[in-house]
Amino acid sequence: MSEKSEDAVAREYRKLAERYDEKWAFYVEATLRETLSRMDLRQGDRILDVACGTGALLQMISALNPRATLFGTDLSPEMLGVAQSRLGSAAELRIARADKLPFDSGSFDTVVTTNAFHFFPLPGPALGEMSRVLKPNGRLVITDWCHDFLACRICERYLRVFNRAHRRVYGSTECRLLVETAGFENVEVERYKINWLWGMMTVRGSKPPRRPRLTIPGSGGPAELPPRCPPR
Ligand SMILES: C[S@@+](CC[C@H](N)C(=O)[O-])C[C@H]1O[C@@H](n2cnc3c(N)ncnc32)[C@H](O)[C@@H]1O
């Protein structure tokens, strides 16, 4: 099932890559601007854009935060080809599925994904990977269209029938739950419209800090403190 839907995504974006920026200019510009305004960019951060497509967000981040170290992944080599010509050496790009990120654990200060979450066949494992590659206290930012809006529900019905690459669009409550279930804390969801059609949401959360470790005498090893250990 998941292989099939990823093949369909790869086929769709192979055809679309060269025209994507032009065809979706308004939507991409508007959603990325909204996303950027909700990102807590800090000088020198290491930032990963999952399913970065043609690299437009990475380019905007690079202009605002030239000292950031930028990475992008996508399953479509053609979309990454466009991103590579746009970004040159400003970002390191890798072909990868969202649920199998080719980075060491604890590599990034921020992981962001825009306009792609509704394609992921395995949203739980994808969020698990995003959490794994984040540093403790690292920030997650997801922007996607949102099932809470009537126009998006109609659009989704159409895509379910006519577009094999389409997977499913989430409502804000459902998306919050997925992010919390993946272990993120301080989860906030904001909904907004970019025009009469597109109702969007940006979900933000943070990876929990590293918990202090206790060594229990005689237990043979360290034990995690429970999350809310009462003071002694
Ligand atoms: C609508 S485009 C969004 C691109 C870019 N993030 C933006 O906002 O313009 C969706 C992108 O998600 C990628 N994609 C879809 N499913 C994916 C998956 N499971 N793993 C990695 N990339 C995926 C597609 O190849 C495509 O480049």
Regarding the beta carbon of 130 and ligand 1, being less than 6 Å apart is answered no
Q: Whose CA is nearest to atom 15 of ligand 1?
A: 119
Q: Give the residue carrying structure tokens 């769709």.
A: 12
Question: What are 162-186's pLDDT values in tens digits?
Answer: 888 888 999 999 999 999 999 999 9
Dist CA 104 CA 101 (whole Å):
9
Dist CA 82 CA 46 (whole Å):
22
Question: What are 113-165's pLDDT values in tens digits?
Answer: 999 999 999 999 999 999 999 999 999 999 999 999 999 999 999 888 888 88
Which atom of ligand 1 lies at the shortest distance from residue 126's CA?
19
Q: Which of 12, 48, 70, 76 best tests ligand 1's pocket when mutated (most atoms within 8 Å of CB)?
A: 76
Q: Which of 47, 95, 119 best tests ligand 1's pocket when mutated (most atoms within 8 Å of CB)?
A: 119
Regarding the beta carbon of 116 and ligand 1, being less than 6 Å apart is answered yes
CATH second-level architecture of 3-224? 3-Layer(aba) Sandwich (3.40)
Ligand 1 midpoint to CA 83 (Å): 12
Question: What are 71-93's pLDDT values in tens digits?
Answer: 999 999 999 999 999 999 999 99
pTM higher than 0.85 for the full model? yes
Quote the longest CA-to-CA distance of the chain. 65
Q: Which of 44-48, 176-180, 190-194, 208-212 has the lowest mean pLDDT?
A: 208-212
Contact 54, 27 (CB under 8 A): no
Regarding the beta carbon of 114 and ligand 1, being less than 6 Å apart is answered yes
Dist CA 65 CA 93 (whole Å):
18
Q: What is the CA radius of gyration of the chain?
A: 19
